[in-house]
């Protein structure tokens, strides 16, 4: 992460918000890296704020459209990119601070909770999630970290993590139908390893 810290030290962010995207496929360890990076940045005296792309997903009745293939739903209609851009990323790009009520997805009720989000100038915003180098949001990110982890390692992690899906067979089937094909399309469309500012293996 030293190259990121060097980049930050060379930036004057006193009158802006610096946005770092932590990108990676399912089970790559994005949340773990975010927590570690947050601690590092705080040691360097940076204020930090964390948002997750999954704070901006559509309810189930939208993201599970039975007229489409599962991977297509996941790739194309899972997230509210327009809302994220309008309410958070575009204002930051204009040089604004963020101080407003934002709708964040609540998994328990499959709806949204309005939460006050305050991101001041001088803050490093850590945006964590999959597919962050898509055209909808890439231009709003100042620095992209991509976690390059083999599929078999990621699968072993999600088997332990995603018990809500069901048993071992259920998890493997869902990833084969919904997640892995969408991930393959992302890699083909955006070459995330080649286009990231920093790749972590």
What is the domain-level CATH number for residue 111? 3.40.50.300
Which of 128, 130, 129 lies closest to 182 in space, CA to CA?
130
How many whole angstroms separate alpha carbon 157 and alpha carbon 152? 9
Residues 6 or more apart in contact with residue 10 via CB below 8 angstroms: none
- Return the biggest CA–CA distance within the chain: 51
How many whole angstroms separate alpha carbon 2 and alpha carbon 198? 10
pLDDT at 165: 87
Over residues 176-182, the mean pLDDT reads 97
pLDDT at 162: 87
pLDDT at 10: 94
How many whole angstroms separate alpha carbon 165 and alpha carbon 144? 30
Other Cβ atoms within 10 Å of 181 Cβ, number: 17
The percent helix, strand, coil of the chain (3-state, each to 5) is 45, 25, 30
Tens of pLDDT, residues 123-163: 999 999 999 999 999 999 999 999 999 999 999 999 998 88
pLDDT of 67 higher than 90: yes
pLDDT at 179: 97
Domain range for 154 = 2-200
Over residues 5-16, the mean pLDDT reads 94
pLDDT at 164: 85
How many whole angstroms separate alpha carbon 85 and alpha carbon 56? 10
How many whole angstroms separate alpha carbon 143 and alpha carbon 126? 10
pLDDT band for 1, please (50, 70, 90 cuts): confident
Total-model pTM: 0.95
Over residues 89-100, the mean pLDDT reads 99
Q: How many domains does the chain have?
A: 1
Write phi, then psi, for 69 (nearest 5 degrees): -65, 150
**Cα–Cα distance list, 167 to 42, 64, 160, 161 (Å):** 39, 20, 10, 11
Token pair in block for residue 4: 């990121």
How many whole angstroms separate alpha carbon 76 and alpha carbon 72? 6
């Amino acid at each position: 992460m030293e190259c990121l810290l060097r980049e930050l030290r060379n930036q004057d962010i006193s009158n802006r918000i610096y946005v770092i995207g932590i990108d990676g496929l399912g089970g790559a360890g994005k949340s773990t890296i975010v927590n570690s990076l947050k601690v590092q940045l705080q040691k360097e005296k940076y204020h930090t704020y964390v948002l997750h792309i999954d704070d901006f997903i559509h309810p189930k009745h939208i993201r599970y459209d039975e007229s489409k293939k599962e991977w297509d739903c996941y790739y194309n209609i899972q997230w509210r990119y327009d809302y994220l851009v309008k309410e958070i990323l575009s204002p930051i790009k204009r040089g604004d601070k963020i101080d407003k009520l934002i709708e964040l997805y609540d998994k328990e009720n499959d709806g949204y909770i309005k939460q006050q989000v305050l991101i001041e100038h001088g803050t490093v915003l850590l945006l964590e999630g999959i597919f962050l180098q898509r055209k909808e949001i890439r231009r709003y990110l100042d620095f992209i970290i991509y976690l390059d982890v083999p599929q078999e390692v990621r699968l072993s992690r999600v088997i332990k993590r995603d018990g809500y899906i069901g048993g071992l067979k259920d998890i493997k089937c869902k990833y084969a139908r919904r997640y892995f094909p969408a991930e393959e399309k992302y890699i083909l469309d955006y070459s995330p390893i080649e286009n990231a500012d920093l790749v972590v293996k």
